[in-house]
């Protein structure tokens, strides 16, 4: 199902149908009377760490959710998470790990009868180690707080995503998040050196590795990264920091032929010798939308080009970094790859360029009910993909609008599809068009956010039967009673 980007907690358009189907799916059934279970939970955590009824505020609910889960547990430590899971395991009580609730596939939503385990109180940052460039973060630490902590000490937290103010390290590990600087620094898999998880039966697995190289057997943490809380609950992570860049060079670029976008990417990768941090694309429809609905976000280049790019590189010496950036642009001009470009003169201009990419989402609602999709595919197929999807969407929904943008350097496109109406049939048709074209290209229905419940139906469109069977084997081995985030992913 399409994921509604930029609308925290639930769908605009797709939310009601999604939530209704969510409620009708059966989770693992608890075997202990709720009152007895809650009593035991309060005894383990303290009464103030167990919320029920009206005390469960909107913070812990999906946007349109009216029925509350049984309780929200707020443990402070790994030992307390273990205590909660031991109780859940004994009682066969379904439990949903929850971080900042910024994921848009309903992966952290707790249904009636389930308990939410929120990491809200697990916010310690410890063991900062400048020599080895590592620190340890509690699962509930918010990305922006961690970025600021690292920045104050002269380091960079290399994973950055638009939801930084609210997304947590535990949620980011559980979804293998990666957004704006993946080209240079990778996703959470690259940033997480070590992890601590609590298994469904309460066993604590401490794999708090601090080295870049550790090949003593399979890398246990990778099983949990990207598993969306279905295999274990992340309680802490050792993160790899990078040197803080001395400066950033940022450019806004217009290009009229897609093949030149690919050539430009290769040219910048070669000429900037690994310093390229972002290579973001916006189709002409996105540019037109910004000009029409976002007068506060004036694009720096003329309208009417086919593609707009936001290109950024970092480095350790601003003068020579800038010279190298300029040289790459001179080469691109000489090869006639670029129609127009502007290089940000200061931090204010840089922020204005990024705002076009990051803040226009607040206005998508002007298009009416819309779905957001995030998909990935080989970069060379992207233009073909965009054309096919738009053609099919226009044929199915004559009043529809589709905007395309994304992290092209990572092969990741975002689509905003406003079909001009709202119904379960419209949702299904739009999903089938967008994901059907992904499937035809051997792409992925989820580049970000994971699968949750909203993309479950389409998992087999991106994964082979053998891959899905292996996922089930992991699930059975690690959570035989099926209490961890039941009904999600598989
Ligand atoms: C404006 C906006 C921009 C975004 N940009 C990006 C982007 O660029 N790249 C990207 O990858 N994503 C992006 N996202 C999606 C989202 O922010 C990420 O998926 C993020 O990693 C979710 O973190 P969270 O703490 O909010 O987790 P939640 O939404 O609370 O949970 C997400 C999943 O992780 C599980 N989970 C949470 N905490 C734990 C834990 N401690 N242990 C085990 N499982 C856990 C939940 O059960 C759920 O399945 C964006 C979202 C928004 C709203």
Q: What is the pLDDT of residues 346-377, one digit of tens each?
A: 999 999 999 999 999 999 999 999 999 999 99
Residue 342 is predicted with a pLDDT of 97
Beta bridge partners of 193: none
For β-strands 125-129 and 95-98, DSSP reports them as unpaired
* CA 28 – CA 291 distance, rounded (Å): 49
Query: Does the CB atom of residue 78 touch ligand 1 within 6 A?
Result: no
For β-strands 71-73 and 115-118, DSSP reports them as parallel
CA–centroid distance, residue 459 to ligand 1 (Å): 18
Query: What is the per-residue pLDDT across 114-126, written as a single tens digit (0 to 9) for each?
Result: 999 999 999 999 9
Residue 20 is predicted with a pLDDT of 33
* CA 332 – CA 268 distance, rounded (Å): 9
What's the mean per-residue pLDDT of the chain? 93
Query: Does the CB atom of residue 101 touch ligand 1 within 6 A?
Result: yes
The two structure tokens encoding residue 84: 């909660």
The two structure tokens encoding residue 248: 């950033």
Q: Where are the alpha helices (DSSP H) in 95-142?
A: none
Mean pLDDT of 471-479: 98
Query: Does the CB atom of residue 98 touch ligand 1 within 6 A?
Result: yes
Which residue shows structure tokens 């086919």? 306
CA–centroid distance, residue 144 to ligand 1 (Å): 14
CA–centroid distance, residue 161 to ligand 1 (Å): 10
Which residue shows structure tokens 């999903």? 431
Q: What's the distance, CA 224 to chain centroid?
A: 16
Give Cα separations from 369 to 12, 320, 325, 426 (angstroms): 6, 47, 41, 11
Q: Give phi and psi for 150, each to the nearest 5.
A: -65, -45
What 3-state class would DSSP assign to 215?
A: coil
CA–centroid distance, residue 452 to ligand 1 (Å): 10
How many DSSP H helices and E strands does the chain contain? 15, 18
Reply yes or no on whether the pLDDT at 19 is more than 50.
no
Query: Does the CB atom of residue 120 touch ligand 1 within 6 A?
Result: no
Edge-to-edge, what's the strand order for the sheet holding 412-418? 340-343, 247-255, 307-315, 276-283, 401-407, 412-418, 371-376
Residue 29 is predicted with a pLDDT of 66
CA–centroid distance, residue 73 to ligand 1 (Å): 19
Query: Does the CB atom of residue 486 touch ligand 1 within 6 A?
Result: no
**Helices 318-334, 258-271: inter-axial angle, 10-degree rounding:** 140
Query: What is the per-residue pLDDT across 45-65, written as a single tens digit (0 to 9) for each?
Result: 999 999 999 999 999 999 889
Given a contact cutoff of 8 angstroms between Cβ atoms, the answer to whether 95 and 69 are in contact is no
CA–centroid distance, residue 483 to ligand 1 (Å): 20
Which residue shows structure tokens 């460039």? 133
Which residue shows structure tokens 């970000």? 448
Nearest-atom index, ligand 1, CA of 6: 1
Mutate to test the pocket of ligand 1, among 118, 161, 235 (most ligand atoms within 8 A of CB): 161
Residue 273 is predicted with a pLDDT of 83
For β-strands 155-156 and 134-138, DSSP reports them as unpaired
The total number of residues written for the chain in this structure: 490
Query: What is the per-residue pLDDT across 292-319, written as a single tens digit (0 to 9) for each?
Result: 999 999 999 999 999 999 999 999 999 9
Residue nearest to atom 36 of ligand 1 (CA): 171
Given a contact cutoff of 8 angstroms between Cβ atoms, the answer to whether 310 and 344 are in contact is no
Q: Using a cut of 0.95, tell me whether the model's pTM lies above it.
A: no
Query: Does the CB atom of residue 44 touch ligand 1 within 6 A?
Result: no
The two structure tokens encoding residue 359: 């803040």
Given a contact cutoff of 8 angstroms between Cβ atoms, the answer to whether 186 and 247 are in contact is no
Nearest-atom index, ligand 1, CA of 234: 42
What 3-state class would DSSP assign to 417?
A: strand
Mutate to test the pocket of ligand 1, among 157, 448, 488 (most ligand atoms within 8 A of CB): 448
Query: Does the CB atom of residue 70 touch ligand 1 within 6 A?
Result: no
Query: Does the CB atom of residue 354 touch ligand 1 within 6 A?
Result: no
Given a contact cutoff of 8 angstroms between Cβ atoms, the answer to whether 199 and 475 are in contact is no
pLDDT band at 334 (very low <50, low <70, confident <90, very high): very high
Query: Does the CB atom of residue 168 touch ligand 1 within 6 A?
Result: yes
**Strands, E assignment, 369-423:** 371-376, 401-407, 412-418
Query: What is the per-residue pLDDT across 184-242, written as a single tens digit (0 to 9) for each?
Result: 999 999 999 999 999 999 999 999 999 999 999 999 999 999 999 999 999 999 999 99
* CA 170 – CA 195 distance, rounded (Å): 10
């Amino acid at each position: 199902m399409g994921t509604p980007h930029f609308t925290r907690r639930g769908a605009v358009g797709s939310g009601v149908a999604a939530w209704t189907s969510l409620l009708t799916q059966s989770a693992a059934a608890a075997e202990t009377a709720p009152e007895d279970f809650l009593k035991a939970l309060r005894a383990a955590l303290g009464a103030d760490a167990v919320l029920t009824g009206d005390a469960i505020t909107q913070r812990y609910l999906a946007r349109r959710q009216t029925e509350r889960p049984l309780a929200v547990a707020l443990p402070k430590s790994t030992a307390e998470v273990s205590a909660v899971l031991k109780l859940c395991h004994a009682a066969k009580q379904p439990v949903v790990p929850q971080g900042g609730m910024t994921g848009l596939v309903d992966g952290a939503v707790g249904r009636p009868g389930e308990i939410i385990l929120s990491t809200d109180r697990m916010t310690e940052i410890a063991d900062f180690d400048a020599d080895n460039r590592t620190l340890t973060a509690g699962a509930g630490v918010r990305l922006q707080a961690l970025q600021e902590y690292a920045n104050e000490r002269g380091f960079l937290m290399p994973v950055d995503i638009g939801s930084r103010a609210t997304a947590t390290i535990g949620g980011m590990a559980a979804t293998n998040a990666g957004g704006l600087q993946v080209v240079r620094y990778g996703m959470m898999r690259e940033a997480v050196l070590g992890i601590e998880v609590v298994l469904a039966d309460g066993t604590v697995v401490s794999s708090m590795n601090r080295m870049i190289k550790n090949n003593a057997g399979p890398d246990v943490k990778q099983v949990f990264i990207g598993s969306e809380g279905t295999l274990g609950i992340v309680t802490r992570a050792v993160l790899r920091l990078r040197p803080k860049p001395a400066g950033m060079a940022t450019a806004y670029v217009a290009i009229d032929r897609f093949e030149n976008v690919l050539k430009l990417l290769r040219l910048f990768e070669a000429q900037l010798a690994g310093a390229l941090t972002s290579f973001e694309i916006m189709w002409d429809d996105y540019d037109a939308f910004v000009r029409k609905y976002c007068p506060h976000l004036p694009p720096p280049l003329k309208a009417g080009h086919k593609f707009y790019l936001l290109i950024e590189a970092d480095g350790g010496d601003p003068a020579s970094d800038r010279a190298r950036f300029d040289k790459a642009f001179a080469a691109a001009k000489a090869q006639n790859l670029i129609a127009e470009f502007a290089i940000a003169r200061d931090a204010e201009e840089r922020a204005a360029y990024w705002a076009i990419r990051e803040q226009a989402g607040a206005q998508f609602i002007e298009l009416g009910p819309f779905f957001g999709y995030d998909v990935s595919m080989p970069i060379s197929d992207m233009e073909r993909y965009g054309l096919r999807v738009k053609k099919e969407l226009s044929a199915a929904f004559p009043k529809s609008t589709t905007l395309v943008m994304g992290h092209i350097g990572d092969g990741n496109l975002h689509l905003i599809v406003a079909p001009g109406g709202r119904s379960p049939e419209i949702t299904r048709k739009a999903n089938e068009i967008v994901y059907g074209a992904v499937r035809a290209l051997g792409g992925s229905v989820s580049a970000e956010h994971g699968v949750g419940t909203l993309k479950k139906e389409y998992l087999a469109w991106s994964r082979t039967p053998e891959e899905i069977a292996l996922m089930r084997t992991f699930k059975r081995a690690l959570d035989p009673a099926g209490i961890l985030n039941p009904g999600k992913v598989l």
